[in-house]
Amino acid sequence: GIAHSYPDIQGLPALKEAASEFVKAFIGVDISPEGCVPVCGSMQGTFASFLTCSQADKKKDTVLFIDPGFPVQKMQLQVQGTKYETFDVYNFRGEKLGPKLESYLANGNICAIVYSNPNNPSWICMTDDELRTIGSLATKYDCIIMEDLAYFAMDFRRDIRPFQKPYQPSVANYTDNYILLISGSKAFSYAGER
DSSP state letter for 34 = G
CB 44 within 8 A of CB 79: no
| pLDDT tens-digit series, residues 12-43 | 899 899 999 999 999 999 999 999 988 877 78
pLDDT at 66: 97
CATH topology of domain 40-186: Aspartate Aminotransferase; domain 2 (3.40.640)
pLDDT at 188: 61
CB 160 within 8 A of CB 26: yes
| pLDDT tens-digit series, residues 52-103 | 999 999 999 999 999 998 889 999 999 999 999 999 999 999 999 999 999 9
| pLDDT tens-digit series, residues 122-147 | 888 899 999 999 999 999 999 999 99
**DSSP string covering 41-85:** SHHHHHHHHHHHHHHS-TT--EEEEEES--HHHHHHHHHHT-EEE
